[in-house]
Amino acid sequence: MTKQDALVEQLSSDYRLAALNAADRAMLDYAAKLTLTPTAITEQDVQGLRATGFTDRAILDIVQITAYYAYVNRIADGLGVSLEAYWQHGDTPEAE
């Protein structure tokens, strides 16, 4: 979608090494923390997002998308659902 293959590769391998602006980095840091250590989230984390320009609505969107992604993955993992081949190999459905 971005047509920026190098950025997509950086984000895929380690977003922390990607050339991102402060707001995008803050958003991804927050999403990673919410995913990996949700009980460690504090008001300071939310304030950090606000400081980079995110509105409360945008922060809610970040939380909902992060939580939904985790939820869906836990459902799939819990049911032993396998990914389609195109997700496992980084291809697109149109390529098959």
What's this model's pTM, rounded to 2 decimal places?
A: 0.78
pLDDT 10s digits, 66-93: 999 999 999 999 999 987 776 666 555 5
Number of compact structural domains in the chain = 1
| Residue 80 DSSP one-character state | T
The reply to whether 71 falls in a domain is yes
Helices (H), the chain: 5-14, 22-36, 43-51, 56-79, 85-88
Contact 21, 52 (CB under 8 A): no
CATH number at residue 66: 1.20.1290.10
Range of the domain at 37: 21-95
The reply to whether 85 falls in a domain is yes
pLDDT 10s digits, 39-64: 999 999 999 999 999 999 999 999 99
The reply to whether 90 falls in a domain is yes
Contact 46, 28 (CB under 8 A): no
